[in-house]
Amino acid sequence: MFETQRLTVARIEDEHLDDLYHVYLSNSDYLRITEGTPDGVGVYTRDQMLRDLQVAEWTGRTSLGVFRREDRKLIGVLEYWERSDTDGMPWLGLLMIHRDCQRRGFGRESAEGFLQWVVARGWPEVRLGVVEENVDALPFWRALGFREYERKEKRFPSGVKQVICLRYEPAP
């Protein structure tokens, strides 16, 4: 799909599924917020991840792996819709980097690479939603140029959550 200086963002193959599952498990705060588990471990199973990937495909989302270029190790996941089933707009559904690889610029590099790819495709904007409890995510996305346009409630396995909707509009 696209490459950056240190990363390749590409299709996830069957051989990457164990590494992908470990990316999810390493982000226990995200699992707590979305799945409702206190520690994120033991409740979100590999089978649930596989089901979520299948549902993503059925609903038009594209799930990609974030790989280090140096060793082709999967360190994250990026999921997007070219046309969301709710509003017909492009959405970035998820960007998650393995906890052991966070705070090294991989999240920013993959997000910036995605936005460059969006611009090259001529998309008028890209949207994303951040669960209000995910306090680290809002400053991250705002620093990349995303601006809030709406707040709404969404049901997760962990319950109904307030979601802050943001949009990025490329400069003309």
Q: Which residue segments constitute the domains of the chain, with CATH numbers given?
A: 2-124 (3.40.630.30)
What pTM, to 2 d.p., does this model score? 0.91
Ordered mean pLDDT values, 10 residues apiece, the chain (172 residues): 97 96 92 71 80 90 96 97 90 96 97 96 95 92 97 86 94 77
81 in Cβ contact with 91 (< 8 Å): yes
